[in-house]
Structure 1
Amino acid sequence: MSQERTGVATIHGTPITLIGLELKIGDSAPDFTVSKTLTDEVSLKDYADKIKLISVVPSLDTGVCDAQTRRFNEAADQLGDNVVILTISMDLPFAQARWCGASGVERVVTLSDHKTASFGEAYGVLIKELRLDMRSIFVLDKNNKITYVQYLQEMTEHPNYEDALEAVKALL
Structure 2
Amino acid sequence: MATVTFHGDNIQTSGTLPKTGTKAPDFKLTDTKLGSKSLSDYSDKKVVLNIFPSIDTGVCAASVRKFNEEANKLENTTVLCISRDLPFALNRFCAAEGLENVVSLSDFKDGNFGKTYGVDFTNGPLQSLLSRSVVVVNQKGDVVYTEQVAETGDEPNYKAALKALMDA
Equivalent residue for 1:153, pick from 137, 146, 150 = 150
The answer to whether the Cα contact below 8 Å between 1:19 and 1:125 also exists between their aligned partners in 2 is: yes
Say if 2:32 and 2:90, in contact at 8 Å, map to a contact too: no
- Please show how residues 1-172 of structure 1 align to structure 2 within 5 Å: 5-6=1-2, 8-37=3-32, 39-80=34-75, 82-129=76-123, 130-171=127-168
Q: How many residues align?
A: 165
Q: Hey, which bits of structure 1, 4+ residues long, moved more than 3 A?
A: none
SS at match of 2:72: helix
3-state SS in 1 of match to 2:85: coil
- What runs of 5+ residues in structure 2 fail to find an aligned partner? none
5+ residue gaps, structure 1, are none
Q: CA deviation at 1:38?
A: 5.9
In the TM superposition, what is the alpha-carbon distance from 1:62 to its structure 2 partner?
0.4
Higher strand content, 1 or 2: 1
TM-score, structure 2 as length reference = 0.94
- The alpha-carbon distance between structure 1 residues 72 and 149, as it changes in their structure 2 partners (threshold 3 A), is same
Residue by residue over 1:10-63, the C-alpha shift from the partner in whole angstroms, topping out at 9 and shown as x without a partner, is 111111121134321111111111101363111111111110011001111101
Provide the identity percentage: 42
Q: 2-side partners of 1:37 and 1:77: how far apart?
A: 20
Aligned mates of 1:88, 1:52 — CA distance in 2: 12
